Amino acid sequence: MRIIVDTLGADKGYEEIVKGTLQVMKTRDIEVLFVGNAENIKKLVEGSSVDPARIDYIQTDEYIMNNEDPVISIRRKKDASIVLGLNALKEGRGDGFISAGSTGALLAGGLLITKRIDNIDRAALTIVLPSPNGGTVLLDAGANMDTTPEYLRQFAAMGSIYASKVLKRENPRVALLNVGSEEGKGDKRTKESYDLLKASDLNFVGNVESRDLLSGNCDVIVCDGFAGNIALKAFEGVATVVMKSIKEGIMASPRTKLGGILVKPALSGLKKTFDYNEYGAAPLLGTRQPVFKAHGSSNSRALETGIEALVKFIENDVIQYITQDASSIGKANKAEG
Amino acid sequence: MRIIVDTLGADKGYEEIVKGTLQVMKTRDIEVLFVGNAENIKKLVEGSSVDPARIDYIQTDEYIMNNEDPVISIRRKKDASIVLGLNALKEGRGDGFISAGSTGALLAGGLLITKRIDNIDRAALTIVLPSPNGGTVLLDAGANMDTTPEYLRQFAAMGSIYASKVLKRENPRVALLNVGSEEGKGDKRTKESYDLLKASDLNFVGNVESRDLLSGNCDVIVCDGFAGNIALKAFEGVATVVMKSIKEGIMASPRTKLGGILVKPALSGLKKTFDYNEYGAAPLLGTRQPVFKAHGSSNSRALETGIEALVKFIENDVIQYITQDASSIGKANKAEG
């Protein structure tokens, strides 16, 4: 298996990306195709115990920035790392692609270069949230605005396959993110989506409120990209404020400092639960080849968990299963729509 | 000043509602009109140091449940506590109304009985989020689904008045809840709302992401009720999981228990920050008289802070200021729409 790794455009620089990748290579029998400044990357490879023969390079120093228009940039910046990496994926020079660069550019590139699976109308950014039973799949995390109920039903079908194949859930429970748990709640889109999901052959268990995102009461949570992004970033924001507040509280006096040392085991578990670096990267479900988005602020640990997730995704043939079901997913959609 | 207090329909029962109210009466020179089972309430009043002459009653045992259709129930259940309370408010038997009962019924009652201020198209549930500078106003927290950009602009105008009069902010900074901070982000509604807010005479500072809800970077956050509810409940859910996880971690061993005692001051500050009982109740902004929603799971402390917020709202003539500006808020709206 060969993974294509975009080393450019990440907030914390290429070093964290390369270090995380090399870490995975110590335990996983994978090859890597790095996209970025080959000279810089080679220095880090030389300092590691990884056999340089397992690594190849695509040289570039260009990348797409967050404030650039994604679609225009993908079309015009032919030497941008995401463009080069996705083209290499398309040409079969690797089995999956991962980037911590511009989310918008990766989404646009996933659609324009990698392309969608036939009969799938939209690709969805798919996050695995922490939960007591080992994770809940949430999609769409922000790739699509103004989605239709039909798109949401397709997301639910793809999310079910992901939960089944990667998280090994039998008959995954699908829930709809909504403002109340009762049927009939929500805006026009969620009400119509509720009806579509209820009529589908998915294991639809009804609405879930965002206060229960981490409960593990369901295996797949489906939502419009706007709502999904709002929920996830609220989650991230609160977790950050809480961890900062605990840290400041503990540093406040000698007494609390001592207490902090004693409760450390309790708090480090919490830190791990709320650290997105522990959750790997997010696949763009619906593309013809594996495209993964790592958090923009990824450290080496995030890349490590991200590549692990990408490897599992490839090993479990997720795209093949979605492709097999795509005609019925699409058909059901057209019949309902 | 006389406050009408609905004692029915709260998750934790009438006792918490009555106790919290009596607590405020010890420090605030207010009268209270309780709606509920007068006999039960009187027992609690007798056991307190509050002068019974300051209290009156509307007897009823009926209330609207969360699973009942709000609009139908408001019209048909004439003896429901929310209906009786809001009618008493309308008849001038009190200066404001507060309830911890069905949110849907209170919203419906606020519109059908209390009615909207002329030229205001929708009333918005308005929350004050904790922030380093003493709170950020968020609206709509869930009263309206499928709002238009014009409604959002009106919410922003009302939220600004609230931030100015109650939180005493000069020229309140208004932000739009969105999936990214740059202009041009979001779904159709937020993009159009951005343009409307930019063209308005409000102090519009651009988009805010939900990860910055608690940052204090703005004074008013405006959003559709669906997104607002998703953000708030995610906030609540994460805070609950974090507090539970800390507690369990601390109870895990004698060592962590001792540490827990030492860090208690640090954690109790955190608990207070994330405890909705500390944030009072939420006004329904846009109604002709003050209507406040307390959290369904309110304890006596929540009622206490809620009534304090209601008293401040009345003292600061918020409704009068909105009414004064309503024709220009409405006019601006019609010109834009």
Judge: B186–A262 Cβ closer than 8 Å, yes or no: no
pLDDT at A79: 97
Judge: A179–B146 Cβ closer than 8 Å, yes or no: no
Region A191-210: mean pLDDT is: 97
Region A53-57: mean pLDDT is: 98
Residue A195, token pair as written in the block: 């009806």
User: Which DSSP string corresponds to B73-87?
Assistant: HHHH-TTBHHHHHHH
Judge: B235–A234 Cβ closer than 8 Å, yes or no: yes
Chain A residue closest to B68 (CA)?
A182
Of the candidates B256, B255, B306, B299, the one whose C-alpha atom is nearest the C-alpha of residue B280 is B306
pLDDT at B259: 86
Residues in chain B within 8 Å Cβ distance of A182: 66-67
Separation in Å, CA of B296 to nearest CA in chain A: 13
Judge: B145–A188 Cβ closer than 8 Å, yes or no: yes
pLDDT at B334: 53
Query: Per-residue pLDDT tens for B19-38?
Result: 999 999 999 999 999 999 99
In angstroms, the first-to-last Cα distance of chain B is: 40
pLDDT band at B337 (very low <50, low <70, confident <90, very high): very low
The rounded mean pLDDT for chain A is 92
Ramachandran angles phi, psi of A149, nearest 5°: -55, -35
Chain A residue closest to B236 (CA)?
A211
- Record the pTM: 0.92
Interface size, chain A vs chain B, as Cβ–Cβ contacts under 8 Å: 190
Of the candidates B333, B50, B55, B14, the one whose C-alpha atom is nearest the C-alpha of residue B196 is B333
pLDDT at B336: 45
Interface probe, candidates A125, A181, A191, A262, chain B, greatest B C-beta count within 10 A:
A262
**Rounded CA separation A229/A250 (Å):** 32
Judge: B177–A230 Cβ closer than 8 Å, yes or no: yes
Q: Which amino acid is at B155?
A: F
pLDDT exceeds cutoff 70 at A168 = yes
pLDDT at B262: 86
- Cis peptide before A69, with omega less than 30 degrees from 0? no
Higher pLDDT, B259 or A108: A108
Judge: B249–A240 Cβ closer than 8 Å, yes or no: no
**Rounded CA separation B58/B313 (Å):** 24
The rounded mean pLDDT for chain B is 92
Residue A25, token pair as written in the block: 């290579």
Region B264-287: mean pLDDT is: 79
Residues in chain B within 8 Å Cβ distance of A211: 233-234, 236-237, 240
Query: Per-residue pLDDT tens for A216-268?
Result: 999 999 999 999 999 999 988 888 888 788 888 888 888 888 888 888 877 77
**Rounded CA separation A233/A297 (Å):** 14
Chain A residue closest to B251 (CA)?
A266
pLDDT band at B226 (very low <50, low <70, confident <90, very high): very high
Residues in chain B within 8 Å Cβ distance of A238: 213-214, 234-235, 238-239, 242, 274
Residues in chain A within 8 Å Cβ distance of B210: 229-231, 233-234, 237
pLDDT exceeds cutoff 70 at B122 = yes
**Rounded CA separation B142/B210 (Å):** 15
User: A2, A33 in Cβ contact below 8 A?
Assistant: yes
Chain A residue closest to B184 (CA)?
A69
Query: Per-residue pLDDT tens for B173-217?
Result: 999 999 999 898 999 999 999 999 999 999 999 999 999 998 899
pLDDT at A336: 45
Judge: B210–A234 Cβ closer than 8 Å, yes or no: yes
pLDDT at A277: 65
Judge: B237–A212 Cβ closer than 8 Å, yes or no: yes
pLDDT exceeds cutoff 60 at A337 = no
Three-state DSSP at A101 gives: coil
Which residues lie closer than 8 Å to A142 by C-beta, 6 or more apart?
A: A103, A125, A225, A226, A228, A229, A232, B179
Judge: A239–B234 Cβ closer than 8 Å, yes or no: no
For Cα atoms B66, B71, B73, give the angle at the middle one, nearest 5 degrees.
60
pLDDT exceeds cutoff 60 at B17 = yes
Residues in chain A within 8 Å Cβ distance of B258: 259, 262
